[in-house]
Amino acid sequence: MTTQRKVFINTENMATFVCPECMKSKTTNVSKYKNIDRAVRVKCNCDCGHTYSVMLERRKYYRKETNLPGVYKSKRLGRGKLVIRDISRFGLKFDITSGRYPMIEDVLVVEFTLDDSHKSFISKEVVVKKVYESTIGAEFITVDSSSDSDRRIGFYLMP
Ligand SMILES: [Zn+2]
């Protein structure tokens, strides 16, 4: 199966498509897709003549505020403790409470237990995207609805 590139709809209902052939980017109004609740496949025609398809998704799903203790592990930094501050389908915000601080583009494994009725254990590989003192913003490296952790997060985020 070929991996589809994901493109996200921003809060202004615009999305940026990058042609995989010539790398030219094009930002388009996609407000006709603004109410989608799952990814849709969209065909794009680039000025260079190349046609490609991407999965278009709304980024602004639900971001749930949390206060969940957990740990992180990384080859470079070793282990440390953290508190998950919010969770979305695409990533996490957390505070490092002990251990070394990561840098942008560090890859970590983050593990914690949800406060749902099953006390679901979550283990996700993330890449650090924002660092502000001890507060870290990180994106999941993969989002796959067949993975246990992603399914549990999906249920957890249901309003
Ligand atoms: Zn192109």
- Tens-place pLDDT, residues 110-137: 999 999 999 999 999 999 989 999 999 9
**CA of residue 56 to ligand 1 center, whole Å:** 18
Please report the pLDDT score of residue 89 as a whole number: 85
Please report the pLDDT score of residue 121 as a whole number: 97
Average pLDDT in the 43-48 region? 92
Per-residue DSSP letter, 90:
S
Read off φ and ψ for residue 39, nearest 5 degrees. -70, 140
| All domains in the chain, ordered by first residue | 6-58 (no CATH), 64-156 (2.40.10.220)
pTM over 0.75: no
**CA of residue 50 to ligand 1 center, whole Å:** 5
CA distances to 29, 34, 69, 76, 146 from 142, rounded to whole Å, are: 26, 23, 22, 21, 11
> Which residues surround the ion ligand 1 when the cut-off is CB under 5 Å?
19, 21-22, 24, 46, 48, 50
Please report the pLDDT score of residue 2 as a whole number: 46
Q: Does residue 3 surpass a pLDDT of 90?
A: no
Residue 4: pLDDT band by 50, 70, 90 thresholds?
low
HSE toward the beta carbon, residue 26, CA cutoff 13 A: 13
Please report the pLDDT score of residue 1 as a whole number: 36
Structure tokens at 33: 């897709």
